[in-house]
Each structure stands twice: as C-alpha cells, then as structure tokens.
C-alpha cells in the first residue's frame, strides 16, 4: 500500500483521486494544511513537481500532486497552465467561461483538449510522472450543471453524442477524463512495480 498526501487541503480532490486510483494500491489523504506554493513552471510537469516537492519537504511523506488545464488551439498562450488564472485569478469561473466564449467569437477552429500531469513524489530519488488528456471542442454556449471549471463548455470528441458537454456526462468523465487517464496509467505502473518488488 502506498500512502500519499495530496498537495492540497481540498477534500473534494481527495475524494476524486480516491475514486480514480486503485484503493488496493493507494491510500490518499488531504494534507493537514495548505502550503502557498508559487507555480513558476512553464509546463504541467514542472508545476506538478514544484507542488509535490514543496509538500514533501514540509511533511516528509510521499506526495501526490497534479497540474491540469484546458488547452485551446486558437488561444495557445492564454489557457493551458494558466487556465485557473485566465482573465485574472479572482475572476469567478462563470466569468472565465464567458470570456473564453467571447474570445472565440468568429473563430472556426474550436479544437481543444484537457491535460493532466500527476507527480508521485515518493522520495527525492523516486519521482514518477503520468499524463492524461482528452480531446474535444469548445461549444458556443454552456450546457449541463455537473462537473466544474470549463466542463460545461467542453464537448469530448470520443463520446457518442458530440452535443453533450463534460458537465452532462459525469459517469463517462469518471472513466475517460484527463485525470482518469493519468490515474489509470499510474495504477498500471505501480501494480507492475509492486509485482516485481
């Protein structure tokens, strides 16, 4: 059993990761307190590492950190690792969604993908990364009340009905989202690693 703390005190995230990771291999708990970590990296991997290392140095225990975001082809430098800060860190998510729709007005290329990188920082000499992504398009209006973030605007390419957003297909999202795919890769890797240890 690999016991991990999350690089966050967000209980919602801990519940989500507990659902996505194999409970026979991983035990995931939130950190007892939040650390204010400045994400100065230029990639998802760098930011996930920065967070994981900071929490490991503080708590001296294995850490799971993630960094994720929405990548929009037509706005290559505006979202991505800056997705949470798009339009300003204090801007409510509903306003971020409106801003994204506004910026895409008149643009035909609405291709996008969600990315997630997980960093398992078990010790300074045992650090592992896993990446997941899901392709899709940005809709012309929000739909659905489930999910969070940009989910109401994102229509995944490989779902049967292209008119449904991630906010409308939460069961599918739990198996096929960028975070789910990254967790599946991590589970597969550590399962094999445990067999050979």
Q: Is 71 exposed, middle or buried (0-12, 13-18, 19+ CB in 10 A)?
A: buried
181's enclosing H/E stretch is helix 178-196
**Are residues 41 and 47 in contact, defined by beta-carbon separation less than 8 angstroms?**
yes
Q: What is the pLDDT of residues 20-58, one digit of tens each?
A: 999 999 999 988 888 999 999 999 999 999 999 999 999
Report the helix count and the strand count for the chain, using DSSP H and E. Answer: 5, 6
Task: Name the H helices within 113-156.
Answer: none
Asked about 67 being catalytic, the answer comes back as yes
Report the pLDDT value the prediction gives residue 187, as an integer from 0 to 100: 95
* Alpha-carbon span 154 to 163, nearest angstrom: 10
- 158: confidence class by pLDDT, cuts 50, 70, 90: confident
Of 67, 77, 135, 151, catalytic: 67
**Are residues 67 and 59 in contact, defined by beta-carbon separation less than 8 angstroms?**
no
pTM (whole model) above 0.75? yes
State phi, psi for 28 to the nearest 5 degrees.
Answer: -120, 125
What tokens does 125 get?
């000499």
Domains of the chain as residue ranges with CATH: 2-196 (3.90.950.10)
Q: Which of 27, 31, 21 is nearest to 54 (CA)?
A: 31
Tell me the residue length of the chain. Answer: 197
183's enclosing H/E stretch is helix 178-196
Q: What is the pLDDT of residues 64-119, one digit of tens each?
A: 999 999 999 999 999 999 999 999 989 999 999 999 999 999 999 999 999 999 99
């Amino acid at each position: 059993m690999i016991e991990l703390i999350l690089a966050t005190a967000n209980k919602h995230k801990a519940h989500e990761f507990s659902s996505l990771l194999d409970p026979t291999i991983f035990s995931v708990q939130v950190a007892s307190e939040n650390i204010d970590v400045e994400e100065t990296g230029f990639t998802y991997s760098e930011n996930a590492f920065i967070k994981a290392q900071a929490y490991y140095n503080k708590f001296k225990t294995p850490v799971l950190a993630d960094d994720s975001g929405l990548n929009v082809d037509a706005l290559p430098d505006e979202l991505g690792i800056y997705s949470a800060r798009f339009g300003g860190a204090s801007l409510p998510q509903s306003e971020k969604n409106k801003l994204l729709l506004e910026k895409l007005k008149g643009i035909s290329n609405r291709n996008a993908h969600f990315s997630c990188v997980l960093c398992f920082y078990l010790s300074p000499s045992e650090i592992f990364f896993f990446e997941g992504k899901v392709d899709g398009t940005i809709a012309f209006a929000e739909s659905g009340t489930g999910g969070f973030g940009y989910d109401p605007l994102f229509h995944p390419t490989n779902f049967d009905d292209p008119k449904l957003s991630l906010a409308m297909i939460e069961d599918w999202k739990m198996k096929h989202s960028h975070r789910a795919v990254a967790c599946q890769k991590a589970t597969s890797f550590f399962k094999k690693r445990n067999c050979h240890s």
